[in-house]
Amino acid sequence: MSRNVFVLTGAGVSAESGLGTFRDKAGEGIWARFDPMALATPEAFARDPRRVLAFYDARRRNLLGAQPNPAHHALARLEQGLAASGGKLTLVTQNIDDLHERAGSKDVLHMHGELLKARCELCDAVGPWTGDLTVDDVCPACHSVGALRPHVVWFGELPLHLDEIEAQLRRADLFVAIGTSGAVYPAAGFVAEARAQGVATCEINLDAADNAFLFDDARYGPASEIVPLFVDELLAT
Ligand code: OAD
């Protein structure tokens, strides 16, 4: 049985909860309908903060009405099952939603940040934020006006928790990527790092990822069906 399992999730794990993916074969993903350079960069925020905030307000409202699906629940079960047998799950997500936590996962590394948090650009304080965010809001920590932004990583910014992620990647004996297109680095490069260390790699996805050739094993289908079966398999061996 694999004892140290490293799971990287992407938008595909939350697709069946009603949260859109960014890229898909049908060309209907979020970035086919909205320009990421106008909505998800520090420059866009400096230029037109109201437009950027409105985009994230809509996504936050959508998230508050969504529920975790069987894939999220299965990963919470994997965390408990591995811990009970002396192992460990490292769950790294590119998703800014909180559906892993709401399904019961205790330890989640959000490398692209969290939509239900706001950060102050002046004092760097990060705190919970479930309502809309406006240019008039006051930072609860330093009381500055107009310096709050969604606690999410934008294009051109460094992802979060990279040191911890690297350390856990080195300890893994199985690497699994779920519902991610393998298009955005550094996350898309984790599988190559795992391989270079001789770690077994598995892809679970609806469509083959851009880096599919780097995986030893692949299971294609909806995450809500494939992930629970995969977790059953892992916990049974
Ligand atoms: P993408 O939208 O690029 O890819 C979603 C993946 O999920 C694709 O491979 C789909 O085939 C797959 N998928 C869709 N529905 C699925 C389902 N029901 N079950 C399983 N798989 C399914 O999303 P990410 O790879 O997560 O970054 O995108 C990476 C980053 O790009 C995001 O974190 C975001 C975006 O720009 C930032 O905003 C910084």
118-158: pLDDT as tens digits? 999 999 999 999 999 999 999 999 999 999 999 999 999 99
The amino acid sitting at 57 is D
Catalytic site positions: 112
Residue 1 reports pLDDT greater than 80: no
Residue 26 reports pLDDT greater than 90: no
Task: Calculate how far, in angstroms, residue 100's C-alpha sits from the geometric centre of ligand 1.
Answer: 15
Give the number of the atom of ligand 1 that is nearest the alpha carbon of residue 25.
11
pLDDT digits (tens, 9 = 90+) for 70-110: 999 999 999 999 999 999 999 999 999 999 999 999 999 99
Q: What is the pLDDT of residue 24?
A: 83
Ligand 1: which residues within 6 Å by Cβ? Answer: 10-12, 15-16, 21-24, 29, 40, 94, 112, 153, 179-181, 183-184, 205-207, 209, 222-223
Residues 131, 206 within the same domain? no
Give the number of the atom of ligand 1 that is nearest the alpha carbon of residue 155.
39
pLDDT digits (tens, 9 = 90+) for 176-230: 999 999 999 999 999 999 999 999 999 999 999 999 999 999 999 999 999 999 9
Q: What residues contact 145, with CB distance under 8 A and at least 6 apart? A: 136, 137, 138, 139
Residues 44, 97 within the same domain? no
109 and 92 Cβ atoms separated by less than 8 Å: yes
- Looking at the structure of the chain, the number of domains it has is 2
Q: What is the pLDDT of residue 2?
A: 63
Residues 27, 13 within the same domain? no
Structural domain of 162: 1-19+69-112+158-237
Residues 14, 129 within the same domain? no
